[in-house]
Amino acid sequence: MNNKIPRKTLKRIEEDIENNNLGKARDRLHGLIFTYPNELHLRKQLGDIYYTLQYPEMAGRYWYLEKHKTDIMHESCLLFETSMGNNPHHIARALKFKGDSNHLKGLYKDQPLSSVQKKVAEELIYEYKETWQDKLVPFGCLAFLACLLFSAIVGLFTIWNWIFEL
């Protein structure tokens, strides 16, 4: 556990779980995962909640990055893969891991992986480098907006001159 996560929030999550207020605990954990994406233990805790709520596919989504999986976790991860059509790209996107890929590099070394899991791990660890073609899309959008703005200004100026020249 990392010291940067507020203890107060973790305590509230534990209290919510004890009071069987799993919806609130789930929402708090989603917020923490978004804020602290490298803290993989939060994903495990969220997976536990989803499994308790009887959503094994969602539990599998959050247990997917767990290093030491139980049989139940493996089954849930397989259900999650099936729900994503066993497509590594869809699985990687559904995991929504926004943290540092270095945290994932040692994750799968000790475990035997299926071909789908290997491809997902490669996709999560692969660092995408932006090309000049990727930069072309925002530039094209900005150029289009500039042309649109220019046309609007010319149109307003033309209407202004047309009204007052009569």
Q: Where in the chain does DSSP place strands (E)? A: none
What's the pLDDT score for residue 5? Answer: 85
The predicted-structure confidence for 66-85, as pLDDT tens digits, reads as follows 888 889 998 999 999 999 99
Query: Is the separation of the CB atoms in 63 and 47 below 8 Å?
Result: yes
pLDDT at 9 over 60: yes
**What is the rounded average pLDDT for all residues in the chain?**
86
What's the pLDDT score for residue 132? Answer: 79
Where do we find the tokens 């000790």? 110
* Distance (Å, whole) CA 25 – CA 45: 10
The torsion defined by the Cα of 82, 88, 89 and 92, in degrees rounded to 10, comes to: 90
- The tokens describing 96, both together, are 């929504």
pLDDT category at 101 given cuts 50, 70, 90 is confident
- The tokens describing 159, both together, are 């209407």
* Distance (Å, whole) CA 49 – CA 45: 6
The one-character DSSP state at 118 is H
* Distance (Å, whole) CA 21 – CA 81: 28
Q: Which amino acid is at 77?
A: C
The predicted-structure confidence for 38-69, as pLDDT tens digits, reads as follows 898 999 999 999 999 999 999 999 998 888 88
* Distance (Å, whole) CA 32 – CA 43: 9
What's the pLDDT score for residue 166? Answer: 63
| Fold entry, domain 7-125 | 1.25.40
The predicted-structure confidence for 113-138, as pLDDT tens digits, reads as follows 677 877 887 777 776 567 777 788 88
Domain positions in the chain are 7-125, 129-166
Q: Which residues lie below 8 Å from residue 16, measured CB to CB, with a gap of 6+?
A: 22, 24, 25, 28
